[in-house]
Structure 1
């Protein structure tokens, strides 16, 4: 879990916790592999291709009905479940990591207490989500991306130039850049999460996407109100 420094959660430690959690999951993931195989792989993690071809699909039921497990060949659509679900989860990890880097800068450069409070709120949501998403991928034998993986082409991601400008800003200028940049970032995450309701197959992955969407819509409203106060 992230430590506190001067009463504030340190996002770098949140990210470190996420990486540590992923490594721990990687070290003990063999106990979960039976969920995605028929036991023929022993203690070895299945490759992403094998997971795509043989892992069962958790299909959500209608309201009031339980989810059921079906074979990939019986899944709706043309793609196996992890083509859609794992793509979202994989991309969201470095996407969240950039948001945590932005909140670290907020604690260092903002002079506005509400901006600092918002930064802590974002850390509290996205740090644990990184750990959960890493675990989801690891349990399915899929690669857990590093926070440093290239992600600039994803929806909402700030460019290197934007991040450099944010890192150099201070005070009210920083606050405006942070809020406008984080709104852009959140809108991108919502755009990435939106197709999951229709195209996702794994119940947990869909739940994570819906959590991202709901949480970040509320935070966008907070940021838009904060901008009017500056």
Structure 2
């Protein structure tokens, strides 16, 4: 090969090497400048170390324990003053019904009266839990200072409660049915009133359920009195 040929070959080889190096550098640079994908936002964990509250489920469903900050973020202020008043009044109202029903197993003579008392305990006990958790989830106190719960429609006087506790057999059955019928009528009236002025849909559903179910039980008790 001539001197000129060797020079040309060396020049071509040098250019080729430079092109290879340049391509490699370009590829490396494009990778360094590539922005990595942003990490996904962390989701709130249910295992928070902060305070928790009981969140009521829908009527008939169990309540759940959730972090307090999560509840404050998701719970809408849909309730009004009458909703909160209804809940606070219905808790002691239900509590007296449970007190009356607890007397039946040892005093009632009629199996139907005992069965009625069992249904009241099975239904109204969980409803009290629901109402208490409703207040807790909204940071509302359960008590109303200075209010006389005995003035509520259907609430039985201390004297009437003592007479019921002292009664036995058929006398207890008649007195229990009359007192519980009046007590149920009060709960129906309270629930019907809330359906007119309440705001929260979930509580409206609860009040409707109470009105329907206790009206059914009132009709059953009328049949017991007539028999």
Alignment partner for residue 123 of structure 1, among 121, 124, 131?
A: 121
Q: Is the 8 A contact 1:109 1:170 kept in 2?
A: yes
User: Higher RCO, 1 or 2 (CA under 8 Å, sep at least 6)?
Assistant: 1
Equivalent position SS for 1:25: strand
State the aligned residue count: 164
Structure 2: stretches of 5+ with no match in the other structure: 1-51, 56-64
Structure 1 runs not aligned, ≥5 long:
1-22, 37-54, 58-80
SS of the aligned residue for 1:152 comes to helix
Match of 1:184 in 2: 182
Note the aligned Cα RMSD (angstroms). 2.2
1:151 deviation in Å? 1.7
Matched, 1:25 2:54: yes
Tell me, in whole angstroms, the C-alpha distance in 2 between the residues paired with 1:110 and 1:168. 11
Aligned: 1:56 with 2:77: yes
TM, length-normalised to structure 2? 0.67
The verdict on how the C-alpha distance between 1:175 and 1:130 changes in structure 2, with shifts beyond 3 A counting, is same
Q: Give 1:145 shift.
A: 4.3
Given the alignment, which residue of 73, 77, 90 partners 1:34?
73
What is the deviation of 1:28? 6.1
Aligned to 2:109: 111
Q: Does 1:212 align with 2:210?
A: yes
CA distance in 1, matches of 2:134, 2:95: 17
Greater gyration radius: 2
Residue 33 (structure 1) shift: 2.3
The Cα of 1:35 is off from its aligned counterpart by 3.2
Change beyond 3 A, Cα 1:175–1:142 = same
Displacement after TM superposition at 1:56 (Å): 2.5
**Paired residue for 1:8?**
none
- Partners of 2:151 and 2:142 in 1: how far apart? 18
- 1:30-63 Cα offsets, whole Å, 9 max, x none, are 2422234xxxxxxxxxxxxxxxxxx622xxxxxx
Structure-to-structure mapping, 1:141-156, within 5 angstroms: 141-145=139-143, 150-156=148-154
